[in-house]
Structure 1
Amino acid sequence: MITINNNSNLCTWLNMKHFENDIQTRLEKVLLKYDLSPVEFSFLHYLYDQYDAQASLLEIKDSLHLSSAAVSRMAVRLEEKDCKPIVRYHSDDNHKEVCLKMTSSGIEHFKETFGVVDQTLNELFSSSEFQNLRKEILNIDTTTKKS
């Protein structure tokens, strides 16, 4: 029989997962007003951080750790949004390579959304729940114990 105390690494991991789920749920609600999902926001964030706000689908796939199909589907969804945040084009160097570029309206939409996301995350990370979780994480016992 295994006894688990409330200060175990398992409990810390479960608390981290619960907090992560809370963050995800809160971001989904906030981003709904901007017609974006958290993954779409991450997608736009990656593009925004690139020189000239453009990147190949392969670069985005590798950066966000998504499948090629998922990146392609997300690009189509973003292209079809009302604010038209991105455009697709083929690379001049390699005509088989598909690239995406943020439009000026996409950049403005992202900047507006970023402010709200940043404020939401600041609220969540300054909460007592997160501060307690942070203390738990910092006190994780990394030594291995054998029974």
Structure 2
Amino acid sequence: MNNNSNLCTWLNMKHFENDIQITLEKALIKYDFSPVEFSFLHYLYDQYDSTASMLEIKDSLKLSSAAVSRMAVRLENKDCKPIIRYHSDDNQKAVCLKMTTSGVKQFKEISVVVEKILDDFFTSTDFVDLRDMILNTNIHSQNEE
């Protein structure tokens, strides 16, 4: 099979992403967080006041309502209590989430670990090779047109 094929490139991207995911899972387990929970907190942290409605989170993270609700429950039940749930003043039907002070502190601590892992991966020769493969696949595809 041609190493510049879209299929090979896609498979290599999946393997690279899987390696990152596994490394993040191993590192975050000592904080009692998963990569998905970290992503969830990252979204909240990026908001101006670290608050968002469950609907905003669902739409932004491309999750189902049930998944957002389950994630909120898991985070609410963690020892550090990183989030709280409340009803919006503007719309009592809207359920919102807000990061707590301890949640912000925990997020910042975990962010350092995540950034280090991602920096290691994205400066690795594996990433350079993958990037080159993507670029070569793109060039190869354009030349066939």
What is the aligned partner in structure 2 of residue 116 from structure 1?
A: 113
Higher helix share: 2
Give me the CA root mean square deviation.
Answer: 1.3
Divergent runs of 4+, >6 A: none
Q: In the comparison of the two structures, how many residue pairs are matched?
A: 143
1:25 corresponds in structure 2 to 22
Is 1:50–2:22 an aligned residue pair? Answer: no
Q: What's the CA shift for 1:143?
A: 3.2
Gaps of 5+ in 1: none
* Offset at residue 10 of structure 1 (A): 1.2
Match of 1:61 among 58, 63, 67: 58
- 1: distance between equivalents of 2:141 and 2:73? 44
Between the aligned partners of 1:89 and 1:143, the Cα distance in structure 2 is 52
For normalisation by structure 1, the TM-score amounts to 0.93
Identity %: 71
What SS does structure 1 have at the residue aligned with 2:33? coil
Q: Any conservation in 1 of the 2:4–2:136 contact (CA below 8 Å)?
A: no
With the length of structure 2 as denominator, give the TM-score of the two structures.
Answer: 0.94
| Secondary structure of the structure 1 residue equivalent to 2:52 | strand
Aligned to 1:143: 142
1:53-107 Cα distance to aligned partner (Å, 9 max, x none): 0000000111111000000000000000000000000001111100000000000
Aligned to 2:74: 77
